[in-house]
Amino acid sequence: MESLNLAEHPHRRYNILTSEWVLVSPHRNKRPWQGKVEKVDQENRPSYDPTCYLCPGNTRSNGQVNPAYENTFVFTNDFSALLANANSSIFENELLKARGEKGICRVLCYAPDHSLTMPDMDIPQIEKVIQLWQNEYTELGKHTFINHVQLFENKGAVMGCSNPHPHGQIWAQETIPLEVQKKSANQKTYFEKEGTHLLSDYIKQELAIEERIITQNEHFVALVPFWAVWPFEVMIAPKQAQPNLTALPTEQTIHFAQLLKQLTQLYDRLFETSFPYSAGIHQAPTDGQDHVYWHWHVSFYPPLLRSATVKKFMVGYEMFGEPQRDITAEMAAERLRGLL
């Protein structure tokens, strides 16, 4: 029988962090970037917008006034999905079950300049954002009812972002979310069996192969995961295992900031547009347990496939079966790497 050719034959790839599979169909569309490329008009935003509820000095919908902040600024979301004083009782009625969920939601303003996005920010500004992430993870984790802190950013209207001001969010809650539960279980099992970190060993293998590596520096690497679902999905991770962002040595913060800026700049160059994405940081839960097996990482899930206006939608088979992609991880990495 002919051996499996990952660049030619339809196949499924295994996600070592979640134990899930993705169907890959490279024969359907090997060169997705050679078709029509549509440019979109670039939005020229002012550095200050008097109608923006995130700009310094502006009044938010609840009547509170933002301070005249000069770096980062954080506040509890005025429309929080989770509440610290929520009812935690359980509802059960035969096959119907529910439980109240406590939590805290915060908005993280990356910079006072309304016109910026991550690729436009300078390295010191991005370092301040990283420090904000570290502080919020620590402070929220001190609450006895907070067992997980999820940092994330939705960029672009197509990702449901209602305000273009540079910002991210935190949803911290009682329950450890399902995606994190899966990653915890797989990393713990591997660590107990092998005595090493799952993601660290994976990164070492990818660095040796090089095929899916986009860029790297002394302490961090940006790569397209072998099991990537989204067309230009990318992971940034420290080369050496760290359980959470607070374990990041101060001197390595600049290396993390450099890769965040470099990757988001590559995204903007790809289709000559301000590239939309959802990005999230997965790190050890804050439940007081020993998570020595955890290796934190950042995942970027951008929806664009062929151009600034052609998007990837999870529909049909993907809604009822499992995720599927035509462009392989190797092709995506090559495309992004070529923009360096």
Considering only 159-173, 210-224, 285-299, 303-317, which range has the smallest mean pLDDT?
303-317
Q: What is the pLDDT of residues 186-226, one digit of tens each?
A: 999 999 999 999 999 999 999 999 999 999 999 999 999 99
For residue 204, the domain's CATH number is 3.30.428.10
Q: What is the mean pLDDT of the chain?
A: 94
* Residues shown for the chain: 340
- Mean pLDDT confidence for 58-70: 96
Cα separation, 63 vs 76, whole angstroms: 14
Pairing of strands 20-24, 11-15: antiparallel
Helix residue ranges per DSSP H, 142-252:
178-194, 198-209
Residue 209 located in a structural domain: yes
Cα separation, 195 vs 20, whole angstroms: 23
The owner of tokens 């092998």 is: 194
Residue 1 located in a structural domain: no
Residue 88 located in a structural domain: yes
Residue 24 located in a structural domain: yes
Cα separation, 268 vs 277, whole angstroms: 11
* Domain of residue 263, residue span: 12-337
Residue 35 located in a structural domain: yes
- Mean pLDDT confidence for 285-295: 97
Give the 3-state secondary structure of residue 247: helix
Asked whether residue 166 carries a pLDDT value surpassing 70, the answer given is yes
Residue 3 located in a structural domain: no
Residue 49 located in a structural domain: yes
- Widest CA span of the chain, in angstroms? 70
Task: Name the residues annotated as catalytic.
Answer: 167
Domain count, the chain: 1
Asked whether residue 148 carries a pLDDT value surpassing 60, the answer given is yes
All residues at 6 or more sequence positions from 181 whose CB lies less than 8 Å from its CB, including other chains: none
Nearest to 25 by CA among 339, 322, 290: 322
Which H/E stretch holds residue 93? Answer: strand 90-93
**pLDDT value at position 33?**
44
**pLDDT value at position 313?**
85
**pLDDT value at position 100?**
97
Residue 4 located in a structural domain: no
